[in-house]
Amino acid sequence: MKKAIAFMDSGLGGISVMAEARKLLPYENFIMYGDSKNAPYGEKTDGEVTRLTINAAKKLLEYNIKALVIACNTATSIAGKKLYTKMPIPIVGIVPPLKQAQGLKKEGEILVMLTPAAAKSHTIQNMLRHYGENTNILPCPGLMEFVERGELKGENLHKKLETLLNPYINKKIDVVALGCTHYPFLTEEIRNFFDKDTAFINGGDESARTLKALLEKQGLLTQDKTPGKTLFLNSSEDKIPLMKELYLSLGFDKEEII
Ligand code: DGL
């Protein structure tokens, strides 16, 4: 049995990161764990986020895993450093792509959508000191819940986005950086509020590239050339069918799912 790469998130969002990794690592086995029962992490204290993240990581260590991806900006920015020193396997996190956003910016501004807890974290505040020019930080309480419910369009979502995005719709926004792994599932709806040429980015592809490079460097990539399998787990088991549905909606093959 191939050792798996584990992905963890406060809920279903981490699937957007795992999907990027799947494109680069077709032969690896994946385990995706969502902690939906304890979501949202983004409206909890740092202590709670750290405790929940460590618990999720410990749970995943009980499986046959060779690396862990913290596929959650909130967990990475609050608990990442602690976890990097504690875990016996390689760890990769995800942060909002502020540096990439600076590279894409023209004469307008950047908007970073993320959770309230991530917005306050030292990690993000530090990043902003380096890459925060013309950057608006928008905490989005209550937004990840739409993805957790599988509500990816409709009147209520539109109203919620209108309230959040209202201060920015008359500004020239060159780049929207999605700093929560749930939000890529809402990209089409968020796009409606901006110009056609506004760039949308998230940190998922960079995490996936970092993961691949790390496994390569440590000689941990599988040599087996059969398609990798993916197992979905969740602290709320009733969320597992929706996890599969979201993943398959990104164009993957259902044969892959265990
Ligand atoms: N998916 C998480 C992130 O990337 C946050 C969602 C939550 O608030 O739990 O930040």
Whole-number Å distance, alpha carbon 107 to ligand 1 midpoint, is: 30
Q: Which of 45, 34, 113, 112 is nearest to 79 (CA)?
A: 45
Under the banding of pLDDT at 50, 70 and 90, the label for residue 184 is very high
pLDDT computed for residue 49 by the predictor: 98
Give first-to-last CA distance, the chain, whole Å: 13
Give catalytic status of residue 140 as yes or no: no
Give the C-alpha separation, 107 to 238, whole Å. 46
> Residue 178: CB within 6 Å of ligand 1?
no
- The tens digit of pLDDT for each residue in 162-175 reads 999 999 999 999 99
pLDDT computed for residue 249 by the predictor: 96
Q: Sign of dihedral through CA atoms 139, 142, 148, 151?
A: negative
Whose alpha carbon is nearest atom 8 of ligand 1?
A: 42
What is the number of other CB atoms lying within 10 angstroms of the CB of residue 124?
Answer: 25
Structure tokens belonging to residue 197: 């040429």
Under the banding of pLDDT at 50, 70 and 90, the label for residue 193 is very high
For residue 135, the number of C-alpha atoms closer than 13 Å in the C-beta half-sphere is 27
Under the banding of pLDDT at 50, 70 and 90, the label for residue 254 is very high
Give the C-alpha separation, 178 to 181, whole Å. 7
Among the listed residues 67, 110, 112, 180, the single catalytic one is 180
Whole-number Å distance, alpha carbon 225 to ligand 1 midpoint, is: 33
Q: Which of 61, 72, 77, 85 is nearest to 6 (CA)?
A: 61
- The tens digit of pLDDT for each residue in 108-161 reads 999 999 999 999 999 999 999 999 999 999 999 999 999 999 999 999 999 999
> Residue 207: CB within 6 Å of ligand 1?
no
> Residue 181: CB within 6 Å of ligand 1?
yes
For residue 163, the number of C-alpha atoms closer than 13 Å in the C-beta half-sphere is 10
pLDDT computed for residue 114 by the predictor: 98
- The tens digit of pLDDT for each residue in 218-231 reads 999 999 999 999 99
pLDDT computed for residue 86 by the predictor: 83
Among the listed residues 32, 52, 65, 72, the single catalytic one is 72
pLDDT computed for residue 56 by the predictor: 97
pLDDT computed for residue 210 by the predictor: 98
Give the C-alpha separation, 99 to 124, whole Å. 12
Q: Which of 33, 41, 36 is nearest to 17 (CA)?
A: 33
pLDDT computed for residue 178 by the predictor: 98
- The tens digit of pLDDT for each residue in 35-70 reads 999 999 999 999 999 999 999 999 999 999 999 999
Q: Which atom of ligand 1 is nearest to the CA of 72?
A: 4
Give the 3-state DSSP-derived string for the chain, with helices as H, strands as E and coil as C: CCCEEEEEECCCCCHHHHHHHHHHCCCCEEEEEECHHHCCHHHCCHHHHHHHHHHHHHHHHCCCEEEEEECCHHHHHHHHHHHHHHCCCCEECCCCCHHHHHHHCCCCEEEEEECHHHHHCHHHHHHHHHHCCCEEEEECCCCHHHHHCCCCCCHHHHHHHHHHHHHHCCCCEEEEEECCCCHHHHHHHHHCCCCCCCEEEECHHHHHHHHHHHHHHCCCCCCCCCCCCEEEEECCHHHHHHHHHHHHCCCCCHHHEC
What's the pTM? 0.96
Q: What does the longest C-alpha to C-alpha distance in the chain come to?
A: 54
- The tens digit of pLDDT for each residue in 69-97 reads 999 999 999 999 999 988 889 999 999 99
Structure tokens belonging to residue 40: 């949202």
Whole-number Å distance, alpha carbon 226 to ligand 1 midpoint, is: 32
Give the C-alpha separation, 44 to 49, whole Å. 6
The answer, yes or no, to whether residue 1 has pLDDT greater than 80, is no
